[in-house]
A and B are shown apart, each in its own frame.
Chain A
Amino acid sequence: MRELWELFIVFARIGGFTFGGGYAMLPIIQEEVVEKRGWATEEEVIDYYAIGQCTPGIIAVNTATFIGYKLKGIIGAIFATLGMVFPSVVIITLIAAFFRQFQDYAIVQHAFGGIRVAVVALILNAIVKMWNNSVKDIVGIVIFIAAFIVVAFMELSPIVVIVASATAGIIIQSRRMDMR
């Protein structure tokens, strides 16, 4: 029971400090799940992201479910997910009930102006930390650059990138095995 409670609390903390989409939660996942608690390795988190991206549902929730399941089975998946959504439910309900013009307050806009800068810095830092475990050779560098460019500048769907890069990985690795 204590571990389930811990899953709930950790994911509530992650949900409460994820500003702007699933990828923004990566730095906090890295800190709380990988570094502090060793619940998953960095590679596993990246793999869960990849799977979460091309399966139905919200990426943040999919990742929470995956880590919760890995630790404590189905009940762990449920607790992690409930934790992840708990801050949203509380905060949005309060805003919907009391301050509908929340986003128009100058103080909120200024705070978010600052937060967005921090989000860029935190994600960049997370990428640097994951780099060695994910990009192993020149092929990895090429795939990284290609994925970045097609999504950032050509607005291709991330799902296409996931499917194409997995296929490329399988083709390249099987060629290498044939050569041996």
Chain B
Amino acid sequence: MIYIKLFLVFFKIGLFSIGGGLATIPFLQEIVRKYGWITSQDLLDMIAISESTPGPIGINTATFVGYKTAGVFGGIISTIGIVTPSIIIITIIAHYFGKINEKPIVQAGFYGLRPAVIGLIGAAAFEVAKISLLNIDEFVNTGSLITLFNLKGIALFVAILYLMDKYKKHPIVYLIGAAVVGIIFKY
């Protein structure tokens, strides 16, 4: 039955993709080859759609493939499939985490981990900054430093930092505001 198959395939993806949504892509390519539920063009469209919609990329792709294969219920089943391993594994870890996290060795581990996580988050921000605040391709082509900076992007960036510091509103306010500015000024 297609629902059981969808559940199992996405359960497997959830179980073996470690470290973020893009880690699911090799598994999705396997789906294209092995099951033919989606075509490679679907896969490309889907990655583009996932990047232009809210929500974790892994979840978006699971819903999309499930829907394409077996309708609304297929989308739901695939999504439940991909999150089930997380719920099981993290529940087990969280259960023991409460008991071991005061131990000196665990605290020592986190002493090293926390700055590294901040570094990883910084690197994620840098990835987005490269496409939204800089024009790397243009800079490589022309070689002039002026072209490296996306002035429109940087102006909005500075404005948002200033407003955040001054008004401390909910992050959603800035996201919606930036979308509106983006539409009006064609970012």
A residues with a Cβ closer than 8 A to B are 13, 15-24, 26-28, 31, 43, 46-47, 49-62, 65-66, 69-70, 74, 77-78, 81, 84-85, 87-89, 91-93, 95-97, 100, 102-103, 106-127, 130-131, 133-136, 139-141, 143-148, 151-152, 157-159, 161-162, 164-170, 172-174, 177
Contacts and interface: CB of A to CB of B under 8 A. Distances in A.
B6 interface: no
B148 interface: no
A69 B121 contact: no
Contacts of A145: 119
Contact of A54 (B19, B68, B87): B19
A57 B132 CA distance: 28
Interface stretch (B29-37, B138-146, B152-160): B152-160
A67 B166 CA distance: 30
Given A103-B52, A169-B113, A57 B14 contact: yes
B172 A28 contact: yes
A157 to B, nearest CB: 7
A124 B118 CA distance: 10
Given A51-B93, A65-B87, A88-B59, A118 B117 contact: no
B63 A56 contact: no
Nearest to A49: B117
Contacts of A169: 108-113
Q: Using C-beta atoms within 8 Å of the partner chain, give the interface range for chain B.
A: 35 or more
Contacts of B79: 85, 88-89
B136 interface: no
B55 interface: yes
Nearest to A25: B56
A64 to B, nearest CB: 9
Given A56-B18, A88-B55, A151 B182 contact: no
A127 B91 CA distance: 27
Interface of B: 14-22, 24, 45, 48-60, 63-64, 67-68, 72, 75-76, 79, 82-83, 85-87, 89-91, 93-95, 97-98, 101, 104-105, 107-129, 131-133, 153, 156-157, 160-161, 164, 170-172, 174-175, 177-183, 185-187
A140 B63 CA distance: 40
B23 to A, nearest CB: 9
Nearest to B127: A152
Given A58-B82, A65-B91, A136 B120 contact: no
B51 A20 contact: yes
A158 to B, nearest CB: 5
